[in-house]
Amino acid sequence: MRYRKFKADFIFDGKNILGEDKVLITNENGVIETIVNEAEAGDGVQAFKGWLSPGFINCHCHLELSHMNNVIESGTGLVDFLITVVGKRGFEKAIIAEAIKAADTEMYENGIVAVGDICNTADTIPAKHVSKIRYYNFIEAIGFTNNNISIVFERFIKLYNNFIIEELTDASIVPHAPYTISSAMFELINNASAGKIVSIHNQETEAENELYRTKTGDFFKLYQQLNINTGFFQPYGKSSLPSYLTLLSKAKNLLLVHNTFTTQADIDFAFQQSKANQQQVFWCFCPNANLYIENQLPDIKLFIDNDCNIVLGTDSYSSNYSLNLLDEMRTLQTHFPFLETERMLQWATYNGAAALGIQDRYGSFEKGKQPGILLITNFRDKKLMQTSAATRIV
Ligand SMILES: [Zn+2]
């Protein structure tokens, strides 16, 4: 057996940073053997300038929207953004396929090894077949009313089966967002995804909370535009999260995405629910998309103070300029300078792998795992700089 040995300024192992006297040893396929002191490593150690890290996990993407780069103006707010996506997402199949392939390659090259990917179509299946990235496919259901709900749901089961038949078996049917899912639709999703990983866009705009509190606000514009009868919708008198979270009681892991307008009371409610249902809740932040759409970021410190499981996502090219987790970390550190790089790296590696249920292989330098090895360069006082970049060395 041939071994490969790596050292750098620091080794981030998925949770902690280890000093420069450590050497990471893998077998020839990049499967982790051990981390030892340099004195015990023997010869043939490759030395790098920068930090070594396990590969990144992008917990929220819409690969199938990769052709929408620069199609939607930034700063419109979520409701106008959604209306524009629905109106403009149709392109020639060949253009869509080409953009999907390019985005998959881009993510791989900048260090992403696994992706939680939202799917409204089967467009990404060919690219996923040949991709070096591992995908968890979230088949996204949308169903506003309780009428004909089982017929509507059939469509999502069919799409789900498309992925399963193609042996893309890391998949589950998930709700798009609370405001696009009726109570009957929530029930079908909850049953279909029992014991699986479920993702939902959560509290991306204040209008979502307003809708649930008082049945007023910007979302009525969306419903009107889509010709949706809002008679079914009952205001709950509280914010969005406590109004719907009980309807996702059967998922193993719950991935709440965005959380831009989430409060302490919402976090408390989520903790209670997850305990009662023996679930794990993960809070996924996509800061560049938040700035693109709403020009507002979640209260990151609130989630840290509450010991929340935090993960990161890029969202899609319809609301971002890159699919690069280091760009997301850089944005967070710019707006929240107290954030240590190693804390965000744990979100992007160890936590992300746990959220997608793939920690047997990904997310940390532990014996037997094959998480990929990244070199991250250009730090100042352990903080990221504009020139920092992640490249793959294994
Ligand atoms: Zn999204």
Please give the distance, rounded to the nearest whole angstrom, from the Cα atom of residue 346 to the centre of ligand 1: 22
Q: Which residues lie below 8 Å from residue 247, measured CB to CB, with a gap of 6+?
A: 183, 186, 187, 190
What is the rounded CA–CA span in Å between residue 3 and residue 40? 14
Please give the distance, rounded to the nearest whole angstrom, from the Cα atom of residue 322 to the centre of ligand 1: 14
What is the structure's pLDDT at 216? 84
For domain 1-54+363-394, the CATH class is mainly beta
In this predicted model, what pLDDT tens digit does every residue of 260-294 receive, in sequence order? 999 999 999 999 999 999 999 999 999 999 999 99
Please report which helix (H) or strand (E) contains residue 87, including its range: helix 78-88
Annotated domain spans of the chain: 1-54+363-394, 56-358
User: With b meaning 16 or more CB within 10 Å and e meaning fewer, what string describes 333-370?
Assistant: beeeeebebbebbbbbbbbbbbbbebbebbbbbbeebb
Q: Within 13 Å of residue 69, how many CA atoms lie on the same side as its CB?
A: 13
What is the structure's pLDDT at 88? 83
Please give the distance, rounded to the nearest whole angstrom, from the Cα atom of residue 53 to the centre of ligand 1: 26
What is the structure's pLDDT at 19? 79
User: With b meaning 16 or more CB within 10 Å and e meaning fewer, what string describes 266-275?
Assistant: bbebbeebbe
Please give the distance, rounded to the nearest whole angstrom, from the Cα atom of residue 118 to the centre of ligand 1: 7
Q: Is the pLDDT of residue 231 over 80?
A: no
Please give the distance, rounded to the nearest whole angstrom, from the Cα atom of residue 196 to the centre of ligand 1: 19
Please give the distance, rounded to the nearest whole angstrom, from the Cα atom of residue 140 to the centre of ligand 1: 10
Residue 197: phi and psi, rounded to 5, are: -100, 125
Q: What is the mean pLDDT of the chain?
A: 95
Residues 354/54, Cβ–Cβ less than 8 Å: no
- DSSP for 89-127 reads ----HHHHHHHHHHHHHHHHHTTEEEEEEEESSSTTHHH
**Farthest-apart Cα atoms in the chain, separation:** 72
Please give the distance, rounded to the nearest whole angstrom, from the Cα atom of residue 345 to the centre of ligand 1: 21
What is the structure's pLDDT at 158? 98
Cα 271 from chain centroid (whole Å): 20
What is the structure's pLDDT at 357? 98
Please give the distance, rounded to the nearest whole angstrom, from the Cα atom of residue 265 to the centre of ligand 1: 24
Please give the distance, rounded to the nearest whole angstrom, from the Cα atom of residue 337 to the centre of ligand 1: 26
Residues 96/124, Cβ–Cβ less than 8 Å: no
What SS3 class is residue 29? Answer: coil
In this predicted model, what pLDDT tens digit does every residue of 110-135 receive, in sequence order? 999 999 999 999 999 999 999 999 99
Please give the distance, rounded to the nearest whole angstrom, from the Cα atom of residue 48 to the centre of ligand 1: 36
Please give the distance, rounded to the nearest whole angstrom, from the Cα atom of residue 332 to the centre of ligand 1: 18
Please give the distance, rounded to the nearest whole angstrom, from the Cα atom of residue 202 to the centre of ligand 1: 10
Please give the distance, rounded to the nearest whole angstrom, from the Cα atom of residue 313 to the centre of ligand 1: 9
Please give the distance, rounded to the nearest whole angstrom, from the Cα atom of residue 54 to the centre of ligand 1: 25
Please give the distance, rounded to the nearest whole angstrom, from the Cα atom of residue 3 to the centre of ligand 1: 41
Mean pLDDT of 140-151: 89
Residues 122/89, Cβ–Cβ less than 8 Å: no
Please give the distance, rounded to the nearest whole angstrom, from the Cα atom of residue 134 to the centre of ligand 1: 18
Please give the distance, rounded to the nearest whole angstrom, from the Cα atom of residue 368 to the centre of ligand 1: 33
Q: If we measure between CA atoms, which residue out of 298, 324, 300 comes closest to residue 313?
A: 324
CATH 3.20.20.140 fits 56-358, yes or no: yes
Please give the distance, rounded to the nearest whole angstrom, from the Cα atom of residue 286 to the centre of ligand 1: 9
Other CB atoms within a 10 A radius of the CB of residue 131 amount to 18
In this predicted model, what pLDDT tens digit does every residue of 40-70 receive, in sequence order? 999 999 999 999 999 999 999 999 999 998 8
